[in-house]
Structure 1
Amino acid sequence: MERRQFIKKSTVAASALGIGISTIHAFNSSKSNPINNANTFKLNYAPHLGMFKHHAGNDPIDQINFMADQGFTAFEDNQMMKRDVSLQTKIGETLAKRNMTMGVFVIDKGGNMQNTLADGTKEHVDIFLDGCKRAVEVAKRVNAKWMTVVPGGYHRKLPIGIQDGHVIEALRRGADILEPHGLTMVLEPLSDSPDLYLQRSDQTYMICKAVNSPSCKILFDIFHLQKTEGHIIRNIDLTWDEIAYFQIGDNPGRKEPTTGEINYKNIFKYIHSRQYNGILGMEHGNSIEGLEGELAVINAYRTIDNF
């Protein structure tokens, strides 16, 4: 697309969304002259790669710089452990330069349903512990503190108490690896399948209390827990002392806030009232494709952060 056409189309989209034209000039005039956007957010929202690719291009470093230019103070990347060491290093350096905090990446133990810790199998536990050891080195490169863990599937042939015991023991061993480095695995209850072991906030709270380590806390994913249990603010309050991280996605659709039924402005107002200074990962898609959709995401966060 020619630059004149790009600016014309982007101006229309920006006007419709109430966003200043300075937002859309990122990386068009000069990468050495990024946007100077004074707007900041009350909370540390963390976009992911690909969310602003139509504005910033495909280069991960350009995308992170674009995020910073919009006022975002954090970044998360589930796939960080699968990326080249050289890119991990560049990401870490860029985040430090832009004064951004690295959010979660997923500890590599296989997919969400794979290598379940609930069955107590030595092979599965060893895969998990190996992932923890490798995650330490990745965390050093990107200056990360939090890593997502999904314990795997539910084992239907074992009593739930036995499964709880297996999961707690495996996580204690993982915490022993992470704790000396000041790292924290955050356990994520999911709504994707009834065959998953970890699905509720109270269950995750119990597991964290039993592991009894600063390196094992809750990732409270508001999208998933709206689907499985609702009562979001109440359950955040009940499990607050074990929550280390939040993730975001509206329901239905898992798109940006304001596109579904979740009252994110009230939820964020409550979280802010608790003096939360951690990260809220933007683990969702864009409801609209292209430049217009990316501007819509930025505008949505401006709206819900205005409490």
Structure 2
Amino acid sequence: MLKYSLCIGAYPGDDVITHLEKVKEHGFHGLEYYDWTELDLKEVAKAQSRIGVGITATCTRSFNLVNPEMSELFLSGLTETIEACKRLGTTSIITQTGNVMIDAPVKMQQEAMIETLKRSAALCEESGMVLEVEPLNGLVDHEGHFLQYSDQAVSIIDQVDSPHVKLLFDVYHQQITEGNVIRNATNYRNRIHHYHIADNPGRNQPGTGELNYLNILKAIKETGFDGFIGLECGYTIETDRALVEFRETILEHVE
């Protein structure tokens, strides 16, 4: 069964506890909260236990993997994030790569990324966690981001060669960058640990743009994927109503 998570900000102005309660109310399976440093970890852990759902993914503290001079900062931030995740029962840690360094060879930047990710893999293996590397589109939202293409990301992950470093496949970003969504989202299944979904254009809830999420989610399900699919999107209507419509028009025809 596919598992779905909401992302913090789905209910603008509401706190993490309210978001967890909404996850439970709508029958979803987890919450993504990106900046764990904002949280009272003890209070959130108590709320998770009471409500019965928890934070399934968060971000690490530093996002620059291409600059070798930033490697130690990245690793120290990852170590802190792992300790926070232990307290929350969170097993997925998200990172991006940083922007291209225009004065440095691309090969050097990629090698620096691979080396830091190998060291990250060792840290994650000790704790049973997965570091998820996320490509971002450079056309609309993240101009200059180093990692943008699926095949580029898979090549790097394959060179790291660890089950503790995987791909976060964001359908919205990859639609903008390269299209060919179903083929890439399924062909790279063994490297993907987590999906993000939003429609395009607009980055709003599925069903508001050009992407056929009924077919996309069916294709992902057919691969046997059993990880999380996060609704990292805005909402064009009131959030509760949008989530009900998402379930009625898409999810009920996938499950």
Q: Counterpart in 1 of 2:8?
A: 49
Select the residue among 38, 57, 61 that pairs with 1:83.
38
Q: How does 1:234-273 map to 2 (within 5 A)?
A: 234-273=183-222
Unaligned 5+ residue runs, structure 2? none
Match of 1:262, as an amino acid? L
Q: How does 1:30-109 map to 2 (within 5 A)?
A: 43-52=2-11, 58-80=14-36, 82-84=37-39, 87-109=40-62
2:162 and 2:77 mapped to 1: Cα distance? 18
Larger Rg, first or second structure (1 or 2): 1
Q: Does residue 303 of the first structure (1) align with residue 249 of the second (2)?
A: yes
Q: Counterpart in 2 of 1:21?
A: none
Q: Could you tell me whether the CA contact under 8 Å between 2:204 and 2:234 is conserved in 1? A: yes
SS of residue matched to 1:260 = coil
Q: CA deviation at 1:95?
A: 2.9
Greater strand content: 2
Q: Counterpart in 1 of 2:124?
A: 178
Q: How does 1:1-307 map to 2 (within 5 A)?
A: 43-52=2-11, 58-80=14-36, 82-84=37-39, 87-109=40-62, 116-121=64-69, 124-191=70-137, 192-288=141-237, 292-307=238-253
Unaligned 5+ residue runs, structure 1? 1-41, 111-115
TM-score, reference length from structure 2: 0.91
SS of residue matched to 1:246 = strand
Match of 1:108, as an amino acid? R
Q: Could you tell me whether the CA contact under 8 Å between 1:286 and 1:297 is conserved in 2? A: no
Q: C-alpha deviations, 1:140-173, integer Å up to 9, x for none? A: 1110111111111112233322221111001111
2:110 and 2:16 mapped to 1: Cα distance? 39
Match of 2:41, as an amino acid? Q
SS of residue matched to 1:65 = helix
1:66 and 1:268 mapped to 2: Cα distance? 22
1:226 and 1:107 mapped to 2: Cα distance? 25
TM-score, reference length from structure 1: 0.76
2:20 and 2:50 mapped to 1: Cα distance? 11
Q: Counterpart in 2 of 1:35?
A: none
Q: Could you tell me whether the CA contact under 8 Å between 2:149 and 2:174 is conserved in 1? A: yes
SS of residue matched to 2:22 = helix
1:104 and 1:72 mapped to 2: Cα distance? 14
Q: Could you tell me whether the CA contact under 8 Å between 2:54 and 2:88 is conserved in 1? A: no
Percent sequence identity over aligned pairs? 31
